[in-house]
Amino acid sequence: MAARRVNAIRHGLKRALTLRDAALIGIGGAIGSGILFAAAGGTAYAGPAVIVSWIIAAIMIAFITVPYAEIASMVPKGGISARIGYYVYGSYGGFLSGWALFLWSAIIPAIEGVAVAQYASYWIPSLYHVVGGIGLLTPLGVIVAIIITIFFAILNLMGVSKFGRFNSWLTYLKIAAVILFIVLVPLFLFHSSNFTSTGFVPYGWAGVLIAIPATGILFSFGGYRQVADMAGEMKNPKKNVPLAIGTTLLVQSVFYVLMAIVIVGAVSWSALGVAPGTWSSVSALSSPLADLMHVGAGTVSAFAASALGALVVLALLFAIFSPFGTFGVYLTGAARIIFGFSKENAFPRIFSKVNRDGVPVWSLALAAVLAVVFIIPLPSWYSLVDFVVVAAVVNFALVSASLPALRRLYPEIKRPFRIPYVNAWSLVAFVMSTLLIYWATYPTTLYALGATLIGSVFYIYQANRSGWRNLGLKHSVWIPLFVIGLIGLSYAGGSGTGGVGLVQFPYDMVAVAAYAVVFWGIAQFTAPRRQIYGSGQLLAEESLTST
């Protein structure tokens, strides 16, 4: 019995996260650099209608996210988002789906590290500088980002429960700061004319849609994904996973929309020294909320100016510790995706080993190394946000399309949370995911979708390791065809989305939606009629332990 317990400690994740911990991990992952950068950056495409961009994004993400709630509560395993495709598409389709998510998880910690250094440079200018109009970390900034990476790696090594407690307190601080900004800034600095004087939708509705993936809005909604991938470490996951995901979505959606209203209303054109309606100047601010309050303080009363001065300091501190906490959440999530990939034989087995505290130590080490690798050459916050968004949305699309087949193949598995009208939901979520990829604009779609296709080369390792069995090519060959065709559509699309203009807005949107419907039908037609992997393998407990 004792030997059995030791084996569990050595090889299993620990179920140590409560519902509160999990929800705060999701919210902590959501309230990061995006709540400031994306709210301002989106105005370059949408103007005041960036508020509508946030609302549309929230609705679309709700549709796309719900399948993860069903799947993660049904099969609460570490890194399940990167693994579920194996049980529907076979090893090739499963690998491509997980590979897309792996790209996302590997790069996001670097993005948050850049955000920390960029805001900290307000006090320590030597951390960050601008070269040729592009913000770059200095060597000192890189060192600081590496130190942050090491800090969170060490914190993770202490166990998920300790990380959960640390993240909970940090997230409470972030929530309190956001509420203060939403309530207090409009009291001292708010120009309602900003919403109408130069037009609510100054750049057209195409800009409202493009702003969603291209400026970090969609990126900012990624917190719920960490909840799904840490389902293997949650207490009572069948109940708590859907609740934590739903709580994360609700809180972040409300905060993002209200913060967008605050930032649009805080713009003082005269203080910025630009003509009214020059939203590109707002999107170019290095510290959006702090900068708007700082310049706006000169246009208000002495009392309001002093209050804004205090809020500027709080905004700069918030802009440092907010992505700081998000960095830790995504580093933790990336380690679980690598762990899950290893469990499916996509990575060497060493990455599925855990220490006595239930931490996948080698997966964590690889995630930390990847974060550093991407931090060093990363040019700016905006430069890779839309890239990682496209990679993640490929996973969103494939998971959405897999849901009907998953229901049909594994009807005997209990589903504490079930999506109503699963076929219709799956279709709508797949179409929405495809549109989000298209809106990311060409050539970003070329780079990100191309990086997804490159996964086919890396897949050779897994195929060879598994003796070329369970490839599932007839069930998944549509995936690379779908990706290649989407690159072609993006290239031929409207000029607003970076294409050559063969099909202009709004007809390009109709064409992309129709394309998605066709491929969703192909995905259902080619889906397996019997299990590729048995229910026992899907439900295997992986030596989980509780605390």
* Residue 538: half-sphere exposure toward Cβ, Cα within 13 Å: 23
Q: What is the pLDDT of residues 447-498, one digit of tens each?
A: 889 989 999 998 998 888 878 888 889 999 999 999 999 999 999 998 888 8
Dig out the tokens for 95 from the structure.
């690998």
Model confidence at 83: pLDDT above 90: no
* 503 CB neighbour count, 10 Å cutoff: 17
Model confidence at 398: pLDDT above 90: yes
Q: What is the pLDDT of residues 38-80, one digit of tens each?
A: 778 889 899 999 999 999 999 998 888 888 888 888 887 767 7
As a whole number of angstroms, the distance between CA 213 and CA 439 comes to 6
% the chain with pLDDT above 70? 88
Dig out the tokens for 19 from the structure.
């519902």
pLDDT confidence tier of residue 190, bands split at 50, 70 and 90: very high
Residue 420 carries which DSSP code?
Answer: S
Q: Which residue would you say has higher pLDDT here, 163 or 111?
A: 111
Q: 295 to each of 197, 285, 291, 292, 301, how far by Cα in Å?
A: 20, 11, 6, 6, 13
pLDDT of residue 335: 84
pLDDT of residue 343: 84
What CATH number was assigned to the domain covering residues 2-393? 1.20.1740.10
Region 181-196: mean pLDDT is 94
Structure-token match 């949370």, residue found: 417
The SS3 call for residue 137 is strand
- The answer to whether 77 touches 228, Cβ cutoff 8 Å, is no
Model confidence at 11: pLDDT above 80: no
Region 139-148: mean pLDDT is 82
Q: What is the pLDDT of residues 261-307, one digit of tens each?
A: 999 999 999 999 999 999 988 887 877 888 899 999 988 999 999 99
- The answer to whether 186 touches 265, Cβ cutoff 8 Å, is yes
Structure-token match 């296709």, residue found: 453
When mean pLDDT is compared across 225-234, 283-292, 384-393, 403-412, the lowest value belongs to: 225-234
When mean pLDDT is compared across 135-139, 208-212, 395-399, the lowest value belongs to: 135-139
Q: What is the pLDDT of residues 492-512, one digit of tens each?
A: 998 888 899 999 988 999 999
As a whole number of angstroms, the distance between CA 122 and CA 120 comes to 5
Q: What one-character-per-residue DSSP string does 279-301 give?
A: HHHHHT-SSHHHHHHHHHGGGS-
Q: What is the pLDDT of residues 233-270, one digit of tens each?
A: 677 777 787 888 888 889 889 999 999 999 999 999 99
The SS3 call for residue 544 is coil
As a whole number of angstroms, the distance between CA 321 and CA 201 comes to 33
Cβ neighbours for 338, distance < 8 A, ≥ 6 positions apart: 79, 102, 105, 347, 351, 360, 363, 366, 367
Model confidence at 378: pLDDT above 80: no
Model confidence at 131: pLDDT above 70: no
pLDDT of residue 132: 62
As a whole number of angstroms, the distance between CA 542 and CA 12 comes to 6
Amino acid identity of residue 20, one-letter, is R
Model confidence at 189: pLDDT above 70: yes
As a whole number of angstroms, the distance between CA 83 and CA 347 comes to 12
Model confidence at 424: pLDDT above 90: yes
pLDDT of residue 489: 96
Residue from 315, 40, 273 nearest 188 by CA:
315
Q: Which residue would you say has higher pLDDT here, 278 or 153?
A: 278
When mean pLDDT is compared across 304-308, 358-362, 409-413, the lowest value belongs to: 358-362
Model confidence at 12: pLDDT above 80: no
User: What are the boundaries of each domain within the chain?
Assistant: 2-393
pLDDT of residue 165: 75
Residue from 456, 506, 489 nearest 96 by CA:
456
pLDDT of residue 134: 59
* 428 CB neighbour count, 10 Å cutoff: 17
Model confidence at 117: pLDDT above 60: yes
pLDDT of residue 202: 92
pLDDT confidence tier of residue 164, bands split at 50, 70 and 90: low
Model confidence at 172: pLDDT above 80: yes
As a whole number of angstroms, the distance between CA 31 and CA 35 comes to 6
User: Could you give phi then psi for residue 546, rounded to 5 degrees?
Assistant: -115, 160
Model confidence at 10: pLDDT above 60: no
User: Could you give phi then psi for residue 259, rounded to 5 degrees?
Assistant: -70, -35
pLDDT confidence tier of residue 149, bands split at 50, 70 and 90: confident
pTM of the full structure: 0.83
* 355 CB neighbour count, 10 Å cutoff: 15
Q: What is the mean pLDDT of the chain?
A: 83
Dig out the tokens for 462 from the structure.
């897994």
Residue from 291, 294, 324 nearest 117 by CA:
324
Residue 104 carries which DSSP code?
Answer: H
Q: What one-character-per-residue DSSP string does 371-407 give?
A: HHHHHTT---HHHHHHHHHHHHHHHHHHHHHHHHHHH
pLDDT of residue 6: 37
Would strands 545-546 and 128-131 be described as parallel, antiparallel, or unpaired? Answer: unpaired
Residue from 357, 543, 293, 341 nearest 459 by CA:
341
Model confidence at 8: pLDDT above 50: no
Dig out the tokens for 250 from the structure.
């609700």
pLDDT confidence tier of residue 142, bands split at 50, 70 and 90: confident
Q: What is the pLDDT of residues 316-357, one digit of tens each?
A: 888 777 777 777 777 777 888 888 888 888 888 898 888 877
Q: Which residue would you say has higher pLDDT here, 138 or 43?
A: 43
Region 425-437: mean pLDDT is 95
pLDDT confidence tier of residue 373, bands split at 50, 70 and 90: confident
As a whole number of angstroms, the distance between CA 3 and CA 5 comes to 5
Q: Which residue would you say has higher pLDDT here, 287 or 161?
A: 287
pLDDT of residue 14: 62
Q: Which residue would you say has higher pLDDT here, 130 or 112?
A: 112
- The answer to whether 240 touches 19, Cβ cutoff 8 Å, is yes
* Residue 226: half-sphere exposure toward Cβ, Cα within 13 Å: 34
Would strands 134-137 and 545-546 be described as parallel, antiparallel, or unpaired? Answer: unpaired
Model confidence at 413: pLDDT above 80: yes
pLDDT of residue 525: 96
* Residue 512: half-sphere exposure toward Cβ, Cα within 13 Å: 31
- The answer to whether 374 touches 107, Cβ cutoff 8 Å, is yes
Model confidence at 544: pLDDT above 60: no
